[in-house]
Structure 1
């Protein structure tokens, strides 16, 4: 499998991304200009505009690239026969497998400075929502591999709400991890996600 990192980035784009990350951390997204980005990247403004329309287009494309990479990692590392036993003793599809989630978490941790910059660039909720869509895609892909039949409700909960409950829990754990500086290892976060699968929210309160 080809590596996901660097498959699109030219050397110039990598320099611009590094400049974006540094400048957003130093002075905030609102304060940076294209001139700042070009100067920090060691290029001229014309070269910048050959790749991006403005700083907003740059941020959008960087987020798109990160989401594409995470999607690839999650789908490529998902076991095609990922099954677990439910509480009812039935064999069910486990969309959020440890191997796939761990691969995504390692990607985030290895590029933490960028994700930290994005989360502080005034666009953090877009990244959060995009990541939820990636997890939904993973669930649907795994369900199709497993041959699961779509239902209108799950344990009495309408399908749309059930999906939101499932992906929001995992997304929130990962997003909090990023906002806290990725202090824990990917394996520790995977363990939290695994425990979350079998822990009712009310149990956490007592």
Structure 2
């Protein structure tokens, strides 16, 4: 087994260190965030840091890297207060990954890929058409993490759209039925498959353990 202490990690080649630390936490969510600027330009960008924060109210968060360079998603969210989260699925992986390319702010990634914007109801930010799980989000707050110079964006789910075949009777969204992707590190994609679902666990009777 390979071993790295903190000194080893800090002294690693930059690219090797980025790959190592971005993958050591395990598989991450793979999502496309859709947003719109004040002047009506649509943006869509891949994020691997979306995570559950709470169910009541339904709240998600994601991490933004330092804003010392332009971050169109961040700028749009701060201007409009809204955005969408769309799960990446198997057939969309290459186009989804290409949204990480640095285009000028006046260029929409929708125009540079085969991804298509979709609009639902009165929500102004674009969803990604054919994504099996789509959410409209309202910005709640941002939390600055000074130790790494990143921002945690906290947002509340306003609307949730799920393909019928993914939704189980008890509310579980069975992502494997939608061939929904996950990200390993920065640039490696996988399609997880359902293995086993386990029941709610209670403590064992300690008196029966010898």
Give the structure with the higher percent helix: 1
TM-score, length of structure 2 as denominator length: 0.27
TM-score, length of structure 1 as denominator length: 0.28
Give the structure with the higher percent strand: 2
